Amino acid sequence: MNRKLFNILSACLLCSVPALANGPQPPSELSDPVAMVLLVVIGGLLLAIGILGNAVIGAMDIFREKMKKESGKAPVTTATLALLLVCSSSAFAQDAAATASPYFTRLSSSSFYLLISIIILELGVIISLLFVLRFLVGIKRKRKPAKAVVPGKPRVSWLEKLNKTRTIDAASETEQDMGHDFDGIRELNNPTPPWWKWSFIFCICFGIVYFWRTEISHSAPGQLQELAMAEEKAAIAKEAYLKNAANNIDENNVKLLEDANDLAAGQKMFIASCAPCHGPQGQGVVGPNLSDDYWLHGGKLNEIFKTIKYGVPDKGMKAWQEDFSPKQLAQLTSFIKSIQGSNPPNPKEPQGAKE
């Protein structure tokens, strides 16, 4: 029975060893600080596994003597031990699959996940060995005796325990006096809470790592680089938004464009497409005069836009919505409104109703 138990323990330990050996790292990634830290942790955990494995083998003698006295319970004990090892290994295998993505390191995803999986597997082996060692030696948790309630002792709240402070009364105020007195105000001993000190130490360590990554190893962007990337991303988003907004114009929401660039673009389109019928200055040739106050289809901004967009087929004017974008139609409409009242030479007689 002792040999059977020893074979079970040896098989459990040997099954975990091949998984630890499947982690060859690319030489080019070993210079990454995260990779160095993970490899140091892996080495330390391997050392701990070796020490605990040696302790488990030594505990086999104690367990052997115990099994001689309780030979009837050996099958149940062996089965319990094997079940304990299997459950602990499967639990930690599930934890290894839920590892986060390595966005803070230059390691590839496969290398990072492999190192993290090895560490989690080693932790699982260590905890399993601790359970096995505790089982073999027969260590039982001892319950702490209940603390006696001292009469008259003030109750300490959880906030005072967290900050390691205590309520000061008249009796203990003299003990906490620092000896500094100014204008009747005395200074008492008020140390910094532990959580504040540890937060300060964490901030210092974070600053060192951040400085190393941004200024020395350049494995992460600095603040100015992050700002430049954010501005570039915002500029792309703004350009896409303006492009979509520019093509979101119709006869219901068109507005008069007064910018010189928009009017120049509208004039260029008018001369190229509208001048054969309306003249280069809008004085009218075949089509009506666009520079006076008389309009056949309405002289309001949205009415002009609608006339250009859908055309007037019965009068021989084509629809320009397939040739120009909504923004270009708005530019053309704004230019036509800008030449109203310009009185060009040789104007055509008024047509339509006066606006």
Query: Same domain, yes or no, for 212 and 132?
Result: no
- Evaluate whether residue 144 is within a structural domain: no
Q: Two tokens at 110?
A: 């496969």
Query: Same domain, yes or no, for 221 and 265?
Result: no
Residue 80: its pLDDT value, please? Answer: 47
Query: Same domain, yes or no, for 58 and 182?
Result: no
Q: Is the dihedral of CA 308, 310, 316, 318 positive or negative?
A: positive
Q: Which residues are 353's β-sheet partners?
A: 295
Query: Same domain, yes or no, for 50 and 34?
Result: yes
Work out the angle at residue 183's Cα, subtended by the Cα atoms of residues 177 and 185, and round it to the nearest 5 degrees.
30
Residue 39: its pLDDT value, please? Answer: 85
Count of structural domains within the chain: 4
Residue 184: its pLDDT value, please? Answer: 80
3-class SS at 166? coil
Cβ–Cβ < 8 Å for 266, 331: yes
Query: Same domain, yes or no, for 164 and 222?
Result: no
Residue 177: its pLDDT value, please? Answer: 78
Residue 92: its pLDDT value, please? Answer: 39
Q: Two tokens at 286?
A: 């075949």
Residue 166: its pLDDT value, please? Answer: 67
Q: From the DSSP assignment, how many helices (H) and strands (E) are in the chain?
A: 12, 4
Residue 295: its pLDDT value, please? Answer: 92
- Evaluate whether residue 148 is within a structural domain: no
- Evaluate whether residue 115 is within a structural domain: yes
CATH of the domain at 284: 1.10.760.10
Q: Is the dihedral of CA 23, 85, 10, 125 positive or negative?
A: positive
- Evaluate whether residue 271 is within a structural domain: yes
- Evaluate whether residue 152 is within a structural domain: no
Distances (CA, A) of 76 to 70, 73, 79, 128: 11, 6, 5, 18
Residue 18: its pLDDT value, please? Answer: 43
Query: Same domain, yes or no, for 217 and 265?
Result: no
Residue 67: its pLDDT value, please? Answer: 67
Distance CA 68, CA 224 (A): 72
Query: Same domain, yes or no, for 230 and 299?
Result: no
Q: Two tokens at 273?
A: 């497409």
Distance CA 58, CA 60 (A): 5
Residue 212: its pLDDT value, please? Answer: 92
Which domain does 212 fall in, by range? 196-238
- Evaluate whether residue 243 is within a structural domain: no
* pLDDT per position as a tens digit, 204-234: 999 999 999 988 988 888 889 999 999 999 9
Query: Same domain, yes or no, for 326 and 269?
Result: yes
Distance, first Cα to last Cα, the chain: 111
Query: Same domain, yes or no, for 169 and 285?
Result: no
Residue 192: its pLDDT value, please? Answer: 82
Q: Please, what is the angle between helix 109-137 and helix 2-20, to 10°? A: 160
Distance CA 346, CA 310 (A): 28
- Evaluate whether residue 20 is within a structural domain: yes
Query: Tell me, what DSSP letter sits at residue 315?
Result: G
Query: Same domain, yes or no, for 126 and 70?
Result: yes
**The whole model's pTM is what?**
0.37
- Evaluate whether residue 265 is within a structural domain: yes
Query: Same domain, yes or no, for 82 and 20?
Result: yes
The candidate with the shortest Cα–Cα distance to 8, out of 77, 61, 90, 94, is 77
| Mean pLDDT of each 10-residue bin along the chain, 355 residues long | 50 46 49 78 87 79 68 46 45 40 62 85 88 70 55 68 72 74 80 88 94 89 91 91 76 89 93 91 90 90 92 90 90 92 89 85
Query: Same domain, yes or no, for 28 and 129?
Result: yes
